[in-house]
């Protein structure tokens, strides 16, 4: 007999963009936008645990860099990926830009986001605040609403400026929706913008994670990436190798 799924509402707020809820089910807490659209899942015992393949794939994007010191997160959510990067990478400066002021508050209060001195959170629209952000070794784009990816995911100028904000040797990691043919949303735009010089990692949640280098001459060192992931596996508590195996050049 399976245990009944008991859902407990911990918080509900309404802002100019709609509703935000925090729910608890057994050992997990969920951040939801709008009509039960799940944005983040947190394992309560370890908020840095990445439950979903798309977040693990974004961590792989971080490991494309051999020694990142700075990171910029465009879209915070519950902060699980931010927590993981702060815990497992030697980062010194981390900035997060989040549109909705209640999101970081709820993340800290209910979802285990640490008040880490290396983390600076700014409230506002990433499309407007990007130009005032510090350049970074890693930039993560994860701008989702209750109806899908935000406009930044298909905005040529914004995506171009994300790449320009990278330090030399840096990597831009984009959580992009997949279309029915398995390609990333806006594939033609992306191919033109980045000159087909990026890598894709499709995941089972229906997303394609993009790894975009700072420069056209910069390549993805698969051997180095694999070695870094293997070295990290005992601390993570899971292996990333099955995901690394499906990385492909831009399609």
**Closest-CA residue to 21 (of 78, 67, 68, 69):** 78
Say if residues 228 and 66 touch (Cβ distance below 8 Å): yes
- Compute the half-sphere exposure of residue 243: CA atoms within 13 Å on the CB side of its CA: 29
* Residues paired with residue 172 on neighbouring β-strands, in sequence order: 139, 212
C-alpha distances in Å from residue 91, one per residue of 35, 136, 195: 36, 10, 29
Which H/E stretch holds residue 107?
Answer: helix 102-110
Q: How far apart are CA 143 and CA 55, in angstroms?
A: 13
Give the single-character DSSP code of 5.
Answer: -
Q: State the catalytic residues.
A: 142
What tokens appear for 81 in the block? 């990926």
Say if residues 209 and 200 touch (Cβ distance below 8 Å): yes
């Amino acid at each position: 007999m399976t245990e009944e799924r008991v859902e407990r509402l911990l918080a509900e707020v309404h802002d100019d963009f709609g509703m935000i809820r925090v729910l608890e089910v057994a050992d997990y807490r969920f951040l939801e936008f709008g009509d039960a659209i799940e944005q983040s899942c947190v394992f309560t015992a370890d908020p840095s645990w990445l439950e979903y393949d798309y977040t693990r794939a974004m961590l792989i994007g971080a490991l494309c860099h051999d020694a990142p010191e700075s990171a910029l997160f465009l879209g915070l959510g519950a902060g699980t990926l931010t927590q993981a990067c702060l815990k497992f990478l030697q980062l010194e400066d981390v900035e997060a830009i989040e549109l909705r002021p209640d999101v970081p508050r709820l993340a800290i209060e209910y979802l285990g986001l640490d008040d880490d001195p290396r983390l600076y959170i700014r409230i506002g629209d990433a499309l407007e605040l990007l130009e005032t952000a510090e350049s970074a070794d890693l930039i993560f784009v994860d701008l989702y609403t209750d109806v899908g990816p935000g406009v930044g995911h298909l905005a040529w100028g914004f995506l171009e400026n994300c790449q320009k904000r990278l330090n030399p040797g840096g990597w831009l990691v984009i959580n992009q929706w997949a279309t029915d043919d398995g390609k990333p949303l806006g594939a033609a735009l992306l191919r033109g913008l980045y000159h087909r010089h990026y890598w894709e990692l499709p995941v089972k949640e229906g997303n394609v994670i993009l790894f975009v280098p700072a420069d056209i001459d910069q390549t993805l060192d698969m051997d180095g990436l694999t070695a870094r992931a293997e070295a990290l596996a005992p601390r993570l508590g899971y292996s990333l190798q099955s995901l690394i195996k499906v990385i492909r050049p831009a399609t």
